[in-house]
Structure 1
Amino acid sequence: MSIKEFPFPDYKNPPVIEVVFGIQFKELNRLATPHVGKFWEILGIENFPEFREMPELPHIIEKEDSIQSPQYPESIRVEQIAPLPRLFFIDSDKDHIVQLQRDRFLVNWRKLSENHEYPRYAILLPKFQKTFEIFNEFIKTNNIGVIEPDQYELTYVNHITRDGAWKKIKDINLVFPGFSSTEGTFLPEPEKVSWRKIYRFPENRGRLYATMNQAVNKNTGQEMFVLNMTARGYDQENCMEWFNLAHEWIVRGFADLTGEMVQKEAWGKK
């Protein structure tokens, strides 16, 4: 059965709390601190009034014959230029973040409250595309270099809270049918659960990494399952087409990994 024969899932209240679009490229060695202020002005300081410095993310590339670590590995580099941290530009609503470092450009959307509605991929992708085009033009205009992408990345973070979706860990098979119930078995209910699954895209265009961990919301103290869906890969011909492919795999993959009852009752599957 082809992928087009599966209906595309849609939810009234999806559990997504963060979406990250990213493009990684060859290092722009001439990008320096003075450029940061100029780029901030172009973004609009009134639109992105908050600024933070964060540790750099290491440069990694998805390869056909190797699988990446679930966490970014530590890297050691001999610096021949002054280090430049990863920079956060946070908008006035605090729900959009533009991230910049010498070899990476990312745009985040994040959910800040229960009433904060996910704006949907069809809204977020053009916003990311426009912001990246602004950055690309800035690099060209200031003779900083040429952006040469070597990897794209799309991440969806989902918080599946302990309410209508599940009550106890033993209910995990209702949320994730791949887990077997422990009722009637020798082993008791587990204290903690986690898993990681990896799927290859067709034509070696990347991979989908699905990881699930148990966590506690630091603001509410509520237990939850955190399902992280990350697609990494590259398409030399069409960047936005790759993001559409990644989005489709994430959404369809989410539907395959989670239970039908939870999808309908907790998230309002249409």
Structure 2
Amino acid sequence: MSSGGLPSFERPPVIETVLGVQFDPLQEFRNAHLGAFWKFLGPAEWPKVTDAPTIDPQFERFGEAAAWQPRGVHLKISQDPSARLMMHNAAGDRMIQLQNGRLHYNWLGQIGGPYPRYTTIRPEFCRVLGRLREFLAGEGVGEPVPNQWEVTYVNHIPRGGLWNMPSDWTGVFVSLPGVAGRIESLRLESFGGEGHFEIEPQRGRLHIHLEHGRFGKDQQQEVLRLVLTARGPIPGDGEGDMLGAGLDLGRQVIVTTFKAITTDHAHEYWGLLR
């Protein structure tokens, strides 16, 4: 879990991080267990709870099976009564998401706010996972068997700092299709796109999604939203902490890619430390 020589910024534009594990659905798990787990954790520490649609299982596949596989997160809207429970802490900067087959741990921040490092968030996630294992064992539901790890970093780059007009985006990103150079008689107004990259050799996949829009509580903040998600398989016969190794790999790929696709000018603005 050591940061080693990984890129680090004094003021990174990250506003949310998510560490997650997907596990084989448990036959005896019921919606009632969601509320029971919340009480097991302690409503005083996690006072706000909301329901959400479940997220479909997601697997990173390679070879021919990967050519046309669905990308991104897919919410499940159906008559199935299963649910995803989202539990927020009192400060509003942490969230636990649980459904049968998936556990996510979110840090929720604000633009320009303090950012807890990965070395803080990962142990917190592991503690919650440990509590889930303890709860499930006590309820006789079974042992969760992880099959995929997942790491997401959400970055908001607001207008008025590094950029004021879309033509300024070349000062933020090293290269974007249609952004790198001016096209005669055309003026860039907006841009969005996504890319998907194998983490060689078939250890996982990095998904990059960039969009220009208005975000925030009142949809008033104009930003470039850059979401990097790394996800990969956990071998069923793996030895040791394969989940932890996957999370560390995902974080490594995300932070090195973020530095690689952004400019020296942006690095200076965010306070590149190494």
- Normalising by the residue count of structure 2, what TM-score does the alignment of the two structures yield? 0.88
**Contact 2:213–2:222 (CA<8 Å) still a contact in 1?**
yes
1:161 matched residue in structure 2: 158
Percent identity reads 29
**For the Cα contact (< 8 Å) 1:170–1:182, is it kept in 2?**
no
- Report the number of matched residues: 259
Could you tell me which residue of structure 1 aligns to residue 249 of structure 2?
A: 245
Query: Are 2:37 and 2:132, in contact at CA under 8 Å, matched by a contact in 1?
Result: yes
Aligned pair in 2 of structure 1 residues 177, 104: CA closer, same or farther (>3 Å)? same
Q: CA shift at 1:44, angstroms?
A: 1.0
Instruction: Give SS of 1:227's match.
Output: strand
- Of the three residues 130, 133, 139, the one matched with 1:133 is 130
How far did residue 233 of structure 1 move? Answer: 0.4
- 1:268 paired with 2:271, answer yes
Tell me the equivalent position of 1:147. Answer: 144
Residues 222-237 of structure 1 aligned to structure 2 (within 5 Å): 222-236=221-235, 237=238
Give 1:188-267 correspondences, 5 Å limit. Answer: 188-218=186-216, 219=218, 221-236=220-235, 237=238, 238-265=242-269, 267=270
**Structure 2 unaligned residues grouped into runs of 5+:** none
Indicate the larger mover: 247-256 or 194-203.
194-203
C-alpha distance 200-142 of structure 1, shift in aligned 2 (>3 A):
same
Once residues 226 and 52 of structure 2 are traced to their aligned partners in structure 1, the CA distance between those partners, rounded to angstroms, is: 24
Say which SS state the counterpart of residue 203 (structure 1) adopts: coil
Contact kept? 2:34, 2:98, Cα under 8 Å: no
Secondary structure of the residue aligned to 1:144 is coil
Structure 1 unaligned residues grouped into runs of 5+ = 1-5
Aligned residue identity for 1:41: K
Compared CA separation, residues 73 and 91, structure 1 to 2 (3 A):
closer
Residue pair 1:170, 1:181 contacting (<8 A) in 2 also: no
Q: Point out the more displaced range, 52-61 or 211-220.
A: 211-220
Residue 70 (structure 2) aligns with: 69
Native 8 Å contact 1:197 1:209 kept in 2: yes
Q: Does the 8 A contact of 1:171 with 1:181 survive in 2?
A: no
Provide the C-alpha distance between the structure 2 equivalents of 1:106 and 1:190, rounded to a whole number of angstroms.
37
Cα RMSD of the aligned pairs, angstroms, is: 2.1
Shift of 1:228: 0.3
The residue type equivalent to 2:232 in the other structure is G
SS in 2 for 1:204: coil
Q: How far is the alpha carbon of 1:253 from its aligned partner?
A: 0.3
* AA partner of residue 95 (structure 2): I
Tell me by how many angstroms 1:197 deviates: 1.9
Aligned residue in 2 for 1:51 = 49
Structure 1 residues 84, 18: closer, same or farther in 2, change over 3 A? same
Structure 1 residue 148: deviation in Å? 1.5
Counterpart Cα distance in 2 of 1:172 and 1:190: 10
Q: CA deviation at 1:53?
A: 0.4
Structure 2 distance, partners of 1:76, 1:10, is 39
- Counterpart amino acid of residue 259 in structure 1: T
